[in-house]
Structures are given as structure tokens and as C-alpha cells.
């Protein structure tokens, strides 16, 4: 089963990390990610640029409306995601706990994936 | 500080602008607002590790800071004289009402007002920067003093003087009002704050050597505050332009100086060292800004920086576009410095002779400007007019403000035979 791990955190707090603090978190995460990759459990991983770089298309009207900023103003923002191949929710939660220990604060939403296409585009 | 308490550092830093701004609106006194916030932080570091951090740290800090400061104001007032009743007219407010006001629409204008007060026109630029770094960013006096290469005592005095000046201005006719601003006023405040943030950025950007390490955080702080402004005012193309400009310039930081501290010019930088994430964010913001079709000087400067960022080698730089953009900038913000920059593009497009013809008429207004003499010397050197080039470089050296600038010109002089 594929799970999406959606990473929510207070963006202004993450933006207040010093370069060293940021690097330290990324290094700790890399240790977990490398093991997941070796075990064949890791799909695409993305860290998103700040929500200030986001644009939203409101398509509930015609013509759709283009708005600056993220979809919703929330206390915590979607800052990144993982796609994981796990046997069940317990395994996904275990991985989430491990990643969470490397990067405390905020929340992970664990969402089973219905359709997954590896579209082939690479950054 | 314990490991746990240290983890709350970024939380306090992130909450600071909103909390200090709200406390300032409440107490209408910068010192008191700052003290209240400091005290609230101390209590947070005692309480949060035990009870867990609150869901809304800024609201918690505002609420606790307000109560603590009210207590101390009351205590002090009792020792001196009875407080005028109306000074505390709303001390009876229920907690919920306070929280509602904190979260309300005031928030954006509160933070903008706090930043705007720091860039009071009576304050010289260096004091504006120091004040913003102290009050909004919460940098320590020591950190700011190191960035400005002055002693902590001198910086302490500078900030105290700046605060006193603002307190005087606030008490007088020219004080910044605490009512929410109208649209025109808000736009003016945004413009002044943007200019101040760019000063902070440039203060961090313009140095090499030992000071560079102490000043690099200023660039990142300016970028962080620009992102904060954008979260508050997400549809302002010039704020997007400012953030893009700073990100695109700061992306070059790892390539700008050699190990011995000498300047590496844009055309000689190792572009593999440029920070690709900053470039991506800068380009994304510029893209968003241009959709608004309300161009301004920051967007144009960001567009110029973007053309450099997009060129994978110096030779691929689109100088024709850069020339056009500087032409636009000359119309928007006419200045001999802009024309001087345009002359660099002209030298690439049409050669040193055309560029020199553009530079020479600026001599009267830029005779005290390092880069004028540096560029003029370089153009004369390209034209083989060695004697005049030497004179130009000598004039530049005498005006250099950093050892790196002087060393760069000296390397040109050494090349002249």
C-alpha cells in the first residue's frame, strides 16, 4: 500500500531556523531516508518552497480565480511530503514516528494513496 | 539553556514580530512592549517544556506579556503616583476578548506599524537597521554590534538614542497613529518598510572578510522579514519583487569571495556554487509579481538579477534585456548610479567606447563614488588608454570602503604595465 506522508509545520518557525539548525534537521532526516530507500520503501520526496511562493487557482467559479498565496490560511502549513510503500498503517506510523524524532514539531498526516502515477518528469 | 528550551528559540523568534507589535499597540510604548515580551519569553521557557507549547504561541506571549507588564506598571505607579484611570481603561477585558483582538484583523497592520516605526525618517539609516534588528528580529546587542563593527556599549547607546528619538516623535505631532491605516497610508508604510528591509539586506551583503561572517545573518534576516511581510500582504507585487531581488542576490553569496577575501566579480563566479533553492524561490516570486502587471523598481531589479541567475555561464547573459531593464529603471528611479550600471550592459553589448561615452557625463555627480572610478578605469584599460586608466583606478582606491574593494582595484593596477 502506498501512503502519502504530508508534513505540516508552522512555516514562520521553520523560516526562523538558522542555517545550521536547518542543515542539522536535514542531515538527521537523510539518515532515515537513506535506510528507507535501501529497503525499497521510499517513493518521491519533496520539500516545498515557502507558501509565499504559492499561487492558488480557485476553480469553483468560472472563469477560475487566481489568488496569491496558499489555498488556506492555517496555523500550520503543508511544507513537504513523502510517498512511502508500507505493508499497513502500523508500518507507516512507525516510519512517521522515526522521521518525527529527526524533525520534531508540527504534524504528519498519513494518507493512503488511491492512484499513483510515476509521470516520469524529473527535476 | 536546556536542549528542550533551545528548541523553543525559533518559536519565540517567529512569534516575536506579532507579539511585540500587539504589545506596542496595547501599551503605546516601545520599551514597555519589549520588556513585556522579554518577560513573557522567560515565563514561556519555564512553562512550555513542562506543559508543552501552546497551540498559538504568539497569543500566549501577548496575553502573558500584557499581564506581566500591567502588574509592573501598576507597582511602579503605586510607588510614584496614582495612575490616571483612563490609562488602564480596558484592563478589565475578559481573556477571550483579548484573544479575539489579538487574532483579529489588527494583526497585519500591527506588524506593519512596528516595522514602520523603526524606519522613522528622522533616524539615520544605520539606526533604522539597528533598531529593526533589535526590536523586530530580536538579535542581541552583541550580535548587532559585531555586524556593525562597533563595541556593545556603542551599539547599546545607539539603540537607546534611536528609541528615545522615536518616543519623542510618537509623543509629538508626527507620531505614528495606532488606528488602522487607510489604503494610501498602508501603501506608503509598505514602501518605507520595503526600503528599510533592503537597507538591512545591503548592510549584510556589502562586506567581505571577517565582517562577512558576522553580517551574513543580516541578509537572511531581511529575507525572513520580507517573507513575513508577504504572508501579511500576499498580493503586493513590489514586496514579491523585493523578496525575489534579495533571494536572487543572496543565492550568489557562496561564490562572491575568494578564500583570501578578495571580491570575485559576477562574471568570474563559479555558478555551480550558487544556491539553487534561493534562485528557484526568487524566480517563482518574480513570476507571481509580473502577473499583476504593476511594475516597480524592485521587480525590475529582480528581473535583472533573474537574467544573471538564468545564464548558466557569464557569456550566455542576456545583456540586451538587461540594458532594456536598466532603461526602465532609469525612468522609474532616475539616478546616475542606475545609468552607471546600465553602462556595464552597454560595454558588453556595444563595447567600451560606447559605455565610456555613457559614463563620462556622470563624473560631476559621481566623483566621490568608488564604482564610478572603478568602471571608468576598467573601460579606459580596455581601450588601451593606460595612463588615464591608472588615474581612474587610483581615484577608486582612495574611495574604497572595504579592503576587498581596494584589493580588487589593486589587481587591476598590477595588470597595467
Q: Is residue A118 part of a domain?
A: no
Among B64-73, B287-296, B303-312, whose mean pLDDT is lowest?
B64-73
Tell me the average pLDDT of chain A: 94
Q: What's the pLDDT score for residue B89?
A: 42
Whether B213 shows a pLDDT value over 90: the answer reads no
Q: Is residue A20 part of a domain?
A: yes
Whether residues A53 and B281 touch (CB distance < 8 A) is answered with yes
Q: What's the pLDDT score for residue B262?
A: 78
Q: What's the pLDDT score for residue B95?
A: 47
Q: What's the pLDDT score for residue B384?
A: 94
Whether residues A13 and B235 touch (CB distance < 8 A) is answered with no
Q: How many domains does chain A have?
A: 1
Please state the separation of Cα B155 from the chain's center in Å.
18
- Closest CA of chain A from B220, distance in Å: 9
Q: Is residue A121 part of a domain?
A: no
Tell me the average pLDDT of chain B: 88
Whether B376 shows a pLDDT value over 70: the answer reads yes
Among B10-14, B84-88, B181-185, whose mean pLDDT is lowest?
B84-88
* B205 close to B249: Cβ distance less than 8 angstroms: yes
- Closest CA of chain B from A71, distance in Å: 12
Higher pLDDT: B298 or B176? It is: B298
Q: Average of pLDDT values for A81-96?
A: 97
* B155 close to B130: Cβ distance less than 8 angstroms: yes
Please state the separation of Cα A92 from the chain's center in Å.
14
Q: What's the pLDDT score for residue B108?
A: 86
Nearest to A75 among B7, B11, B56 (CB): B56
Would you list the domain boundaries of chain B?
3-104, 106-172+185-234
Whether residues B55 and A75 touch (CB distance < 8 A) is answered with yes
Q: Is residue A28 part of a domain?
A: yes
Which of the residue ranges B3-12, B111-120, B285-294 has the most confident prediction, judged by mean pLDDT? B285-294
* B263 close to B256: Cβ distance less than 8 angstroms: yes
Q: With bands split at pLDDT 50, 70 and 90, how would you rate the model's confidence at B91?
A: very low
SS (H, E, C) chain B: CCHHHHHCHHHHHHHHHHHHHHHHHHHCCHHHHHHHHHHHHHHHHHHHHHHCCCCCHHHHHHHHHHHHHHHHHHHHHHHHCCCCHHHHCCCCCCHHHHHHHHHCCHHHHHHHHHHHHHCCCCCCHHHHHHHHHHHCCCCCHHHHHHHHCCCHHHHHHHHHHHHHHHHHHHHCCCCCCCCCCCHHHHHHHHHHHHHHHHHHHHHHHCCCCHHHHHHHHHHHHHHHHHHHHHHHCCCCHHHHHHHHHHHHHHCCHHHCECCCCCECCHHHCCHHHCCHHHHHHHHHHHHHHHHCCCCCHHHHHHHHHHHHHHCCCHHHCCHHHHHHHHHHHHHHCCCHHHHHHHHHHHHHHHCHHHHHHHHHHHHHHHCCCHHHHHHHHHHHHHCCCHHHHHHHHHHHHHHCCCHHHHHHHHHHHHHCC
Whether residues B10 and A14 touch (CB distance < 8 A) is answered with yes
Q: With bands split at pLDDT 50, 70 and 90, how would you rate the model's confidence at B207?
A: low
In chain A, which residues have their Cβ closer than 8 Å to the Cβ of B283? none
Q: With bands split at pLDDT 50, 70 and 90, how would you rate the model's confidence at B90?
A: very low
> What does the alpha-carbon distance between residue B352 and residue B343 come to, in Å, rounded to a whole number?
9
Q: Which of A96, A91, A97 is nearest to A6 (CA)?
A: A96
> What does the alpha-carbon distance between residue B54 and residue B2 come to, in Å, rounded to a whole number?
19
Whether B374 shows a pLDDT value over 90: the answer reads yes
ipTM of the modeled complex:
0.93
Higher pLDDT: B6 or B163? It is: B163
Q: Is the dihedral of CA B54, B55, B59, B63 positive or negative?
A: negative
User: For B117, how many CA atoms within 13 A lie in the half-sphere containing its CB?
Assistant: 31
> What does the alpha-carbon distance between residue A65 and residue B306 come to, in Å, rounded to a whole number?
27
Q: Which of B409, B414, B415 is nearest to B392 (CA)?
A: B409
Which of the residue ranges B34-38, B138-142, B205-209 has the most confident prediction, judged by mean pLDDT? B34-38
Whether A79 shows a pLDDT value over 90: the answer reads yes
CATH code of the domain containing A68: 3.30.70.1060
Whether B83 shows a pLDDT value over 60: the answer reads no
Q: Is residue A79 part of a domain?
A: yes
Nearest to A12 among B228, B243, B277 (CB): B228
Q: Is residue A41 part of a domain?
A: yes
- Closest CA of chain A from B10, distance in Å: 5
Whether B211 shows a pLDDT value over 80: the answer reads no
pLDDT tens digits for range B44-78: 999 999 888 888 899 999 999 999 989 887 877 76
Whole-structure pTM value = 0.90
Interface of B with A in 160-219 (CB under 8 A): 217
Q: Is residue A33 part of a domain?
A: yes
The number of C-beta contacts closer than 8 angstroms across A and B is 57
The CATH number of the domain covering residues in B3-104: 1.10.1740
Q: What's the pLDDT score for residue B382?
A: 95
Domain membership of residue A108 as a residue range: 2-112
* B18 close to B106: Cβ distance less than 8 angstroms: no
Q: With bands split at pLDDT 50, 70 and 90, how would you rate the model's confidence at B228?
A: very high
Share above pLDDT 70 across residues of chain B, in percent, rounded to a whole number: 89
pLDDT tens digits for range B346-368: 999 999 999 999 999 999 999 99
> What does the alpha-carbon distance between residue B314 and residue B322 come to, in Å, rounded to a whole number?
13
In chain B, which residues have their Cβ closer than 8 Å to the Cβ of A14? 10
Whether B97 shows a pLDDT value over 80: the answer reads no
Q: Which of A43, A28, A53 is nearest to A119 (CA)?
A: A43
- Closest CA of chain A from B12, distance in Å: 8
Whether B206 shows a pLDDT value over 80: the answer reads no
Nearest to B227 among A15, A55, A105 (CB): A15
Whether B331 shows a pLDDT value over 90: the answer reads yes
Q: Identify the burial level of B107 via C-beta atoms within 10 angstroms of its C-beta, where 0-12 means exposed, 13-18 middle and 19 or more buried.
A: middle
Among A41-45, B8-12, B328-332, whose mean pLDDT is lowest?
B8-12
* B33 close to B16: Cβ distance less than 8 angstroms: no
Whether residues B285 and A53 touch (CB distance < 8 A) is answered with yes
Q: What's the pLDDT score for residue B94?
A: 44
Q: Which of A42, A47, A45, A111 is nearest to A79 (CA)?
A: A47
Whether A33 shows a pLDDT value over 90: the answer reads yes
Q: What's the pLDDT score for residue B92?
A: 41
In chain B, which residues have their Cβ closer than 8 Å to the Cβ of A46? none
SS (H, E, C) A100-121: HHHCCCCEEEEEECCCCCCCCC
> What does the alpha-carbon distance between residue B254 and residue B276 come to, in Å, rounded to a whole number?
11
pLDDT tens digits for range A7-23: 999 999 999 998 889 99
Chain A contacts to B (CB-CB under 8 A): 10-19, 21, 49-53, 55, 66-69, 75, 104-105
Q: Is residue A120 part of a domain?
A: no
* A22 close to A13: Cβ distance less than 8 angstroms: no
Q: Which of B13, B31, B40 is nearest to B225 (CA)?
A: B13
> What does the alpha-carbon distance between residue B6 and residue B330 come to, in Å, rounded to a whole number?
48
Higher pLDDT: A74 or B242? It is: B242
Whether A103 shows a pLDDT value over 80: the answer reads yes
Q: Average of pLDDT values for A59-79?
A: 92
Amino acid at each position: 500500500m502506498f501512503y502519502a506522508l504530508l508534513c505540516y509545520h508552522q512555516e514562520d518557525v521553520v523560516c526562523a531556523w538558522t542555517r545550521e539548525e536547518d542543515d542539522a534537521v536535514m542531515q538527521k532526516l537523510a539518515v532515515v531516508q537513506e535506510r528507507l530507500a535501501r529497503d525499497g520503501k521510499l517513493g518521491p520526496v519533496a520539500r516545498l518552497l515557502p507558501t509565499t511562493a504559492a499561487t492558488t487557482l480557485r476553480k469553483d467559479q468560472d472563469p477560475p480565480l487566481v489568488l496569491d498565496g496558499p489555498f488556506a490560511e492555517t496555523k500550520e502549513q503543508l511544507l513537504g511530503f513523502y510517498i512511502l510503500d508500507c505493508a499497513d498503517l502500523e508500518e507507516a506510523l512507525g516510519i512517521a514516528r522515526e522521521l518525527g524524532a529527526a524533525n520534531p514539531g508540527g504534524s504528519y498526516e498519513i494518507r493512503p494513496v488511491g492512484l499513483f502515477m510515476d509521470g516520469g518528469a524529473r527535476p | 539553556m536546556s536542549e528542550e528550551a533551545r528548541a523553543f528559540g525559533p518559536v519565540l523568534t517567529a512569534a516575536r514580530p506579532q507579539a511585540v507589535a500587539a504589545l506596542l499597540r496595547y501599551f503605546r510604548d516601545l520599551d514597555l512592549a519589549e520588556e513585556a515580551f522579554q518577560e513573557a519569553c522567560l515565563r514561556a521557557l519555564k512553562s512550555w517544556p513542562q506543559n508543552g507549547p501552546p497551540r498559538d504561541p504568539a497569543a500566549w506571549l501577548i496575553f502573558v506579556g500584557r499581564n506581566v507588564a500591567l502588574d509592573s506598571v501598576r507597582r511602579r505607579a503605586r510607588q510614584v503616583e496614582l495612575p490616571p484611570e483612563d490609562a488602564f481603561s480596558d484592563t478589565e477585558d475578559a481573556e477571550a476578548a483579548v484573544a479575539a483582538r489579538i487574532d483579529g484583523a489588527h494583526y497585519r497592520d500591527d506588524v506593519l506599524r512596528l516595522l514602520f516605526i523603526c524606519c522613522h525618517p528622522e533616524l539615520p539609516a544605520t539606526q533604522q537597521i539597528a533598531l529593526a534588528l533589535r526590536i523586530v528580529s530580536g538579535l542581541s546587542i552583541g550580535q548587532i554590534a559585531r555586524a556593525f563593527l562597533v563595541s556593545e556599549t556603542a551599539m547599546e547607546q545607539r539603540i537607546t538614542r534611536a528609541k528615545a528619538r522615536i518616543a519623542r516623535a510618537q509623543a509629538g505631532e508626527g507620531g505614528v497613529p495606532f488606528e488602522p491605516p487607510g489604503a494610501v497610508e498602508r501603501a506608503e508604510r509598505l514602501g518605507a518598510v520595503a526600503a528599510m528591509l533592503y537597507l538591512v539586506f545591503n548592510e549584510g551583503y556589502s562586506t567581505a572578510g571577517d565582517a562577512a561572517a558576522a553580517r551574513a545573518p543580516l541578509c537572511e534576516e531581511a529575507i525572513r522579514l520580507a517573507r513575513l511581510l508577504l504572508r501579511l500582504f500576499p498580493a503586493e507585487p513590489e514586496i514579491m519583487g523585493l523578496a525575489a531581488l534579495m533571494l536572487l542576490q543572496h543565492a550568489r553569496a557562496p561564490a562572491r569571495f575568494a578564500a583570501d577575501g578578495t571580491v570575485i566579480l559576477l562574471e568570474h563566479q563559479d555558478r555551480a556554487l550558487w544556491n539553487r533553492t534561493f534562485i528557484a524561490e526568487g524566480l517563482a516570486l518574480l513570476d507571481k509579481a509580473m502577473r499583476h502587471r504593476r511594475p516597480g523598481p524592485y521587480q525590475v531589479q529582480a528581473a535583472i538579477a533573474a537574467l544573471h541567475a538564468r545564464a548558466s555561464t557569464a557569456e550566455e547573459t542576456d545583456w540586451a534585456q538587461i540594458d532594456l531593464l536598466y532603461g526602465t529603471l532609469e525612468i522609474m528611479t532616475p539616478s546616475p548610479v542606475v545609468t552607471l550600471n546600465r553602462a556595464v550592459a552597454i560595454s558588453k553589448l556595444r563595447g567600451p567606447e560606447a559605455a565610456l561615452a555613457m559614463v563620462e557625463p556622470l563624473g560631476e555627480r559621481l566623483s566621490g563614488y568608488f564604482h564610478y572610478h572603478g568602471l571608468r578605469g576598467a573601460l579606459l584599460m580596455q581601450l588601451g588608454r593606460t595612463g588615464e586608466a591608472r588615474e581612474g583606478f587610483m581615484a577608486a582606491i582612495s574611495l574604497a570602503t572595504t579592503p576587498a574593494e581596494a584589493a580588487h582595484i589593486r589587481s587591476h593596477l598590477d595588470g597595467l604595465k
